[in-house]
Structure 1
Amino acid sequence: MTLLDIRNVCYSYDGRVNVLDDVSLTITKGEIVGLIGPNGSGKSTLIKTVFDLLRLQSGTIRVDGNDHSSTAARSAAMYLSSNDYLPQFLTGREYTDTLGKLYGAAVDEESLRDMFLRFSMAGRYSDLIEDYSHGMRKKTQLVSALLMRRPLTVIDETLNGIDIEALYLCEKEFRRFRDDGLSILLCTHDFALLERLADRTVFLDLGRVVADAPTPDLVAEHGSLASMVFSHFDTDTRRP
């Protein structure tokens, strides 16, 4: 069943140049999809339109069968941004509890304690977020997503800045999400991670979908995701 359905989306900041140019992609339930592309390719703009943070200018976006701007769609999806701007006046526990209330997801203290322990933040869930390091804030974002367990979780470079142990734990938890029928859109420059984890990879450049195929097929054809991307940059067709 299709969980995220993006059809013919275009977006322009100045009314002249399309940052997104007729972009279409889908994510089915129980699927991990990688989203790659250079800075300025339109990845974050696409994600923000999915969550109605940027108003859709053309095309359609549906989440779990609902219009992306609806309450039902917002409840079905969670967005982890690339920055670590969390409310500093809350503790880690209060932040997670607040998200739980917004999503209608019950988060018991034992599960929260256990998750903080597993992410090497034992005893810190009652501390103010303003006292957290950059890495701890990133891990708090990830902990909240793992506890909310939305049908769709969109991760926009949130894994940058976390330690290798936390990254390994995230990979295990993401696979568990997939096994439970939950889906992830993972935007990252870590191609090796996607080769290990992603069922499909979507390559976006200059606002257009360059490739959208099963990750093993792309690796078999090009040798690696990095080789696919670099060979694309060498083509004359990319130049204006």
Structure 2
Amino acid sequence: MPLLKVSDVTYSYDGIVNVLLNVSLSVEEGTIVGLVGANGSGKSTLIRNVLDLVRLQSGSITVDGHPHDRPEAKQACVYLSSNDYLPEFLTAREYLTMVGRLYGVEVDHDEAVALFRRFSMEGRYDHLVEDYSHGMRKKTQLVSALVVRRPLTVIDETLNGIDLEALHLAEEEFRRVREEGRSILLCTHDFGVLERLSDKIVFLDLGQLVSEEPTAELVAEHGSVSAMVFEHLEAARR
């Protein structure tokens, strides 16, 4: 059974416009799956459905074999959102401790400090979040997910706003996540990252699933992820 299975999910706002229409996809254990699509394609709405942040209207979603709205499913996921909202009145140490308690895991603060050092934030682990830059908050989000080690990490444009060196390090850490048998659903407009990292690409357009293909096959056929996306968009908008 896939770690994440989305089956025939349809979602609309105010019952008027379908933001998602009969979307089905899967994320297997030990894989990185890229989620792409133009703004308004339904990516964030799909993610909110997966994480039970909006009420599922039709279809079904399971995480680690459990219905997505069950505590067992939520314990299996960690979500990194596109914004950098973190509790400013906490230090990073206090924030990661809180996240660990939510998941019932003991945080390895030595590992977190080492990751802070790797991400060029040495000496800032015990500083208040309110003193962090936008990029530092994004990197703190990444560190929190790496430390709590959930089976599924869902990333919604979190990589926007971090520097190139941090992006390179994040890619290395994501590969380690995959090697450990955990999975990532990675939503990003950085197609180069997806070509380097992802095992499979899920492409949404106007709320519908356009394709769900292995990245290597997609690149072999179209030349690049961006070429595939723009070829479709140009044809669809004619």
Name 1:72's counterpart in structure 2.
72
* Alignment-derived partner of residue 27 in structure 2: 27
Question: Is the partner of 2:30 in helix, strand or coil?
Answer: coil
Amino acid at match of 1:216: A
Task: Give the drift of 1:62.
Answer: 0.2
Contact residue 33 and residue 185 of structure 2 kept, 8 A: yes
Question: Could you tell me how far apart the structure 2 residues matched to 1:106 and 1:95 are?
Answer: 13
Determine helix, strand or coil for the equivalent of 1:69.
coil
Equivalent position of 2:12 in the other structure? 12
Equivalent position of 1:85 in the other structure: 85
Unaligned runs of at least 5 residues, structure 1: none
My pick for the range that moved more, 202-211 or 107-116, is: 107-116
TM-superposed deviation, 1:238: 4.5
Q: 1-side partners of 2:140 and 2:54: how far apart?
A: 25
For 1:96, give the aligned amino acid.
Answer: L
User: Which amino acid letter does the alignment assign opposite residue 21 of structure 2?
Assistant: D
Q: In the alignment, what sits opposite 1:192?
A: 192
Percent identity among equivalent residues?
Answer: 65
Q: Give the superposition deviation at 1:16.
A: 1.6
1:22 shift after superposition: 0.4
Question: Please, which runs of 5 or more residues in structure 2 have no aligned partner?
Answer: none
**Distance in 2 between the 1:169 and 1:214 partners?**
24
| SS at structure 1 position matched to 2:220 | helix
In 2, distance between residues paired with 1:141 and 1:80? 6
Give, in whole Å, the separation in 2 of the partners of 1:225 and 1:110.
Answer: 38
Instruction: Report 1:1-240 matches (<5 A).
Output: 1-235=1-235, 237-238=236-237
Check whether the contact 2:108–2:147 (CA below 8 A) recurs between aligned residues: no
AA matched with 1:197: L
1:109 Cα deviation after fit: 2.4
d(CA) in 1 for partners of 2:234, 2:133: 39
Q: Deviations over 1:167-216 (max 9, x none)?
A: 11111111111111100000000001101100000010100011110001
Deviation (angstroms), 1:14: 2.1
Q: Under a length normalisation based on structure 2, what TM-score does the superposition of the two structures give?
A: 0.98
Q: Counterparts of 2:170 and 2:20 in 1: how far apart (Å)?
A: 30
Aligned-residue RMSD, C-alpha: 0.9
Taking the aligned partners of 2:106 and 2:167, their CA distance within structure 1 comes to 25
Instruction: Figure out how many residues of one structure are paired with residues of the other and give that number.
Output: 238
> 2:112 is aligned with what amino acid?
L
User: 4+ residue stretches of structure 1 with deviation over 6 A?
Assistant: none
Q: What is the CA–CA distance in structure 2 between the aligned matches of 1:135 and 1:177, rounded to whole Å?
A: 22
- The code of the aligned residue for 2:87 comes to P
AA matched with 1:123:
G
Query: Which amino acid is 1:175 matched to?
Result: R
Q: Kindly state the Cα deviation for residue 88 of structure 1 after the two structures are TM-superposed.
A: 0.7
Taking structure 1 as the reference length, the TM-score comes to: 0.97
